Amino acid sequence: MVNWILGDLFFKDFGHQGSVKKLWEERWKFPCTLGVYPFHDGQIDDFAPIFEHLIAKNINDPYDDAWCSAFTPTAERLATAAEAAETTGDIPKAIELAKRSSTVYRIARFPYIGTPIKQRAYDAQKAIYMRGAALWDPPLKDLSIAHTHAENGDGTEIPLYTRVPKDASAQNKAPVVLLITGLDGHRPDNFERVDQQLQRGWASVIVDIPGVADCPANRQDPASGDRLFAAVLDWIATQPELDASKVLAWGLSAGGYYAIRLAHVQADKLVGAIGHGAGTHHYIGREWLKEVDHHEYPFDLQRAYLGKYGYGSWEELLEKCQKEYSLVELGIVQKKSCRLLLVNGVMDGCMPIEDSMLLMEYGTPKEGRFIQQRAHMGYPEAMPITFEWMEQVLGTKKQ
């Protein structure tokens, strides 16, 4: 048995599983007021009436169609208002309203797009997000590139979001941040990060991980992510305004696993990688997963993990997942890696801090910044720490 750094918190039941009242009042209301995860660019006035309705109707299951339906009228109203503001030429207001609508749709389809109604909410989110993002200066673009390494059931097209500094050109190539999204955060959930990157002169290329959203990689093939990112890196190398010699991968939460894997598998094509809130080995082990559903994550992870990895049952996942995906079991951590930063909160109950610490025992020396008394992702301290490291690696500063 692992002597978890969480200590007694490893067995603590946070009490919000199955209770939208506790989730809202004890876990989400304050972050919503601040406009932080998972409510970036949302407003408390948008969400408070929705959660009051969910509480009154005792709707506690996020996979219940009634959950998703409760958010739709607000999201649609904000989208309509955004379109009206665009029509009248009030571009800042149109952008703000589009972001708010997108954020409401995000919570509607949270935590995993596993039902038809959640898929419709996600499609609507992408539509209003891109309508607003087309008004940004410079705009964010929605691209689809060929999956040139597709095999074993992979799809043939990879959807990407990209944003490139206006002054980038073949003569003035922009460094690239390859932003790798997570289990519940997808391409249209990264307003702040792409803005911060643009201010530093970096281009953003955003891609979803296997098993979620629109990713074409075969969710049941552990090597499908290697092929996916090989195709994306090859595409970056063909873009005249992007500097393929300065590509940094930043993986968020479940995406951190793929950033770490990429740091070893494609070490020569990256100047650096960040495993932010990442799992590597323990996070998909039976011992950890037995207790994870009562930690700080808003909902149970079983349905989301089964959807992401494609196993037929929870018992099959417990039996096979660590053997098939652990970077330790596969020997990937023994390979040479590019410069690699591990960032997380010490009290993470989703991805154990032990999974970041474990990397220090293998292969190329790593860098780490672990934040005491913070949970998953180490917010809010993690963001400035991460950007400072990225500036060092990419050699650029915020303008």
Active site residue 234: no
- Please answer whether residues 53 and 102 qualify as being in contact, where contact means their C-beta atoms are separated by less than 8 angstroms: no
Comparing CA positions, the residue from 293, 274, 302 lying closest to residue 349 is 293
Evaluate the omega torsion of the peptide bond into residue 210 and state whether it is cis, within 30 degrees of 0: no
Rounded-to-integer distance, Cα 197 and Cα 396, Å? 10
Comparing CA positions, the residue from 271, 275, 265 lying closest to residue 246 is 271
Q: Which of 224, 253, 326, 356 is catalytic?
A: 253
> What Å distances lie between residue 42 and 33, 104, 107, 227, 322, CA to CA?
9, 7, 10, 35, 36
**Ramachandran sector of residue 378 (left: φ over 0; alpha: ψ -120 to 50; beta: rest):** left
Strands 203-207 and 157-163: antiparallel
Q: Which of 226, 348, 355, 356 is catalytic?
A: 348
Active site residue 355: no
User: Which residue shows structure tokens 């149109």?
Assistant: 94
- Please answer whether residues 142 and 161 qualify as being in contact, where contact means their C-beta atoms are separated by less than 8 angstroms: yes
Q: Which of 186, 264, 282, 376 is catalytic?
A: 376
- The backbone torsions φ and ψ at residue 31, rounded to the nearest 5 degrees and listed phi first, read -55, -35
Active site residue 281: no
Rounded-to-integer distance, Cα 392 and Cα 282, Å? 30
- The backbone torsions φ and ψ at residue 289, rounded to the nearest 5 degrees and listed phi first, read -65, -25
End-to-end CA distance of the chain: 49
Comparing CA positions, the residue from 265, 293, 147 lying closest to residue 208 is 147
- Please answer whether residues 225 and 210 qualify as being in contact, where contact means their C-beta atoms are separated by less than 8 angstroms: yes
Written as one string, the DSSP assignment of 42-73 is --HHHHHHHHHHHHHTT---TTSHHHHHHHHH
Evaluate the omega torsion of the peptide bond into residue 384 and state whether it is cis, within 30 degrees of 0: no
Helices (H), 239-313: 254-265, 286-289, 302-309
Q: How many Cα atoms sit within 13 Å of 387 on the Cβ side?
A: 18
Known catalytic residues are 253, 348, 376
